[in-house]
Structure 1
Amino acid sequence: MRRDSDVSFIAFQETQLSDMGEVDSAKFWGDNDFDMDWVAANGRSGGLLSMWDPKIFKKVETIKDQHYLLFRGIVCGSNKEINLVNVYAPQRVPEKSLLWDKILGLLNSYPGQWVIMGDFNVVRSPKERKNSSFKVSCARAFNAFINEAGLLEYEMMGRKYTFLVENGSKMSKIDRFLVCFSFFSDWPDACLRALPRTHSDHNPIVLTTAKKNFGARPFRVFNSWLDKEGYVETVEKAATDFIGMEEPPDVVLSKKFKFVRDSIKNWREVMIHRENEEEETLREELENLEVTAEVRDLEEDEVWVKAECKKNLGILERNKTRDLKQRSRIRWAIDGDENTSFFHGVVNRRKASNTIHGLSINGSWVQKPTVIKGRFYHSSGTFFLNLSQVDIVCFVQGYARYLKGRGLISNCRSLKRKLKRLFFNAGRIGLPAQMA
């Protein structure tokens, strides 16, 4: 299982072993190329074991507790500081609260990114339990800890629950990964997946951070560019200067869009460089004036310059925030709110929820982009081929109303006519006379 999922760090909970020397640990890893450390069990209760690939993670320090095992170290190759915590939470509510306080103290004491994993013996909401009682106070304390620590959680694929009793009637999601904002920002498209149970009443869960290449991403135009100098002129000039070859119209149009897009990219690079230089100059001038103000009163023209510096810096900052709001797609965002870290978080959480991590095909989990795209292409093609005349008409009308409602088109009737002909002229269904 470790080789199949390409795992670099494994965290075991409830080992029930007081001495790992009695066990051949290499069987868990698959070979002898690993490092490990553990917390002994208290009789037949508890016990933690962590194993890792020393070529990926270099341990610097270990901090042990009966209910957690913290490794502070560096990710080889990037030299980023990271803290990996293996958790097995106690059953009693007061002891859980004490554990949350201990982990919160660790988070506030050590720098670097944080990944906290394991069996937390608690759920966050009623929907994470089935056929068992939900303890409101316990969940409230756990959620308060997560919020205070600034931790985030990936959506789990493959299973809804991670633990079930032997008869299978009671289920709950008590195993999870919690990560800090910095880690989530670096890996917004990471995949958390629950694997099938084999020898345990818990489903193993795997967090994969490998990036998938699904090809070129859509080009995004920000509304703030419309107000910037040179944008409109750049687009108009590119559209005028493009010279198409004698090719099919759709190919010519595609190449023209690419030519315009490349022109906008060049304009954007120059614009960003110019704005960065302007911001640096404004901040330097503002700093000099503030230093001068500590020695003497500013002259009238210096006061005016200081006010202009602050004004122009505010404009630059509001433009950046405006772009972030557009990326986060929050229509209800308050104008003037400059909490950029909030919008960065929204963007990354949206990206994490929209990312296609893989597909289960004939019982096998597939993550190869070419296979995933091929399956989607085949499925969507089959869907449209099986549509009836009524289905196509409903789809076209609904899509046209949707675009008109968002202000993206003005002539709904013209679009519906073109889309209907596009579908019905495919050679398999005749266009009804009343729709022509």
Structure 2
Amino acid sequence: MKLGDFNEVRDDSERMGSQFHPASARLFNQFIEDANLFDIALGGPRFTLSDKWGSKFSTLDRFLVSEGLLAFFPHLSGLVLEKKIPDHRPIILPEHSVDYGPKTFWFFYSWFNHEGLDDVLQNSWSMAFDCDGILNPWVIFKKKLQILKSNLRVWYSSIRIGMDGKRKSLQDKIESIDAILMAGDGRANLREHRVLILKELADLDYLARVDLA
């Protein structure tokens, strides 16, 4: 493993306020490739070095590790810390692996107001899939969850398209009625129809507000 200040960057995104030398970067990248080293990604602040005026920034500090080390410590990650010395920020190399289980996904309360949600939930959860001899119930659960997420995405996409089309149709109807009313035709049933259309538009707006909430 090699670590510390290499006095060189790998690409122009690792410098700001100072000159980038493509030839030097190519040599540095070639060295990393020839030595079969892996550049550990760094979290935290973008740059590791700055001048005292805050006008020049560079990423000169890094960890370059071998494939053998990664085999023993597969969850290595670099972290740039707060600046405690005049120019360089310290960086550490912790190994930390956390399994939070399946990734969460959005589920809006307003979906209960749309037709078809119950069918999507029931059909997705009862859908057969190729277990390939899997007996672990947790693995099966995650596979079912993936199917559910995919089906919900397709279902809600069609719902949104339908809602957008319905909104456009209702707005067109309002414009047509307004044109008739402004021409002097003030029939009561036409005005009542306009009120009903506005109620439908308000219902669509309510669903959108529930999603935002």
In the superposition, the TM-score normalised over structure 2's length comes to 0.52
1:431 is matched with which residue: 204, 209, 213?
204
Which residue of structure 2 lines up, in the alignment, with residue 138 of structure 1?
24
Unmatched runs of 5 consecutive residues or more in structure 2: 105-117, 137-149, 167-201, 206-213
Q: Paired residue for 2:88?
A: 202
Residue number among 100, 117, 137 corresponding to 1:214 in the alignment: 100
Matched, 1:157 2:53: no
What SS is found at the alignment partner of 2:18? coil
* Contact residue 5 and residue 61 of structure 2 kept, 8 A: yes
TM-superposed CA distance for 1:184, in Å, is 4.1
Q: 1:264 aligns with which of 131, 140, 147?
A: 131
Relative contact order, CA 8 A, sep 6+: which one is greater? 2
Name the amino acid aligned to 1:118.
Answer: G
Residues 332-411 of structure 1: pairs in structure 2 closer than 5 A: none
Task: Please name the residue that 1:120 is paired with.
Answer: 6
Counterpart secondary structure, 1:177:
strand
Structure 1's 161 and 419: CA in aligned 2 closer, same or farther, altered over 3 A? same
* 2:163/2:204 contact within 8 Å kept: no
Q: What is the match of residue 29 of structure 1?
A: none
> Cα offset for 1:197?
0.3
Question: Which residue does the alignment assign to 1:418?
Answer: 159
State the SS of the aligned residue for 1:212: coil
What is the count of residue pairs matched by the alignment? 142
- C-alpha offsets along residues 34-53 of structure 1, whole Å, 9 cap, x if unaligned? xxxxxxxxxxxxxxxxxxxx
1:194 counterpart letter in structure 2: V
Alpha-carbon offset, residue 268 of structure 1: 10
Counterpart of 1:193 (choices 79, 82, 91) is 79
- Identity, % of aligned positions: 28
* Kept after mapping to 1: 8 A contact 2:48/2:58: yes
1:176 has 2:46 as partner: no
TM-score for the superposition, normalised by structure 1:
0.28
* Cα distance between partner residues in 1 of 2:70 and 2:135: 27
1:254–1:189 Cα change, 3 Å: farther
Q: Distance in 1 between matches of 2:73 and 2:90?
A: 21
Shift of 1:252: 3.6
Matched, 1:148 2:34: yes
Tell me the distance in 2 between the aligned counterparts of 1:189 and 1:253. 38
| AA of the residue aligned to 1:167 | W
How far the C-alpha of 1:128 sits from its partner, in A, is: 1.4
Provide the C-alpha distance between the structure 2 equivalents of 1:252 and 1:154, rounded to a whole number of angstroms. 44
Contact kept, 8 Å, 1:421 with 1:431, in 2: the verdict is no
Q: Is the contact made by 1:193 and 1:206 (CA closer than 8 Å) also made in structure 2? A: yes
CA separation of 1:180 and 1:217: change in aligned 2, threshold 3 A: farther
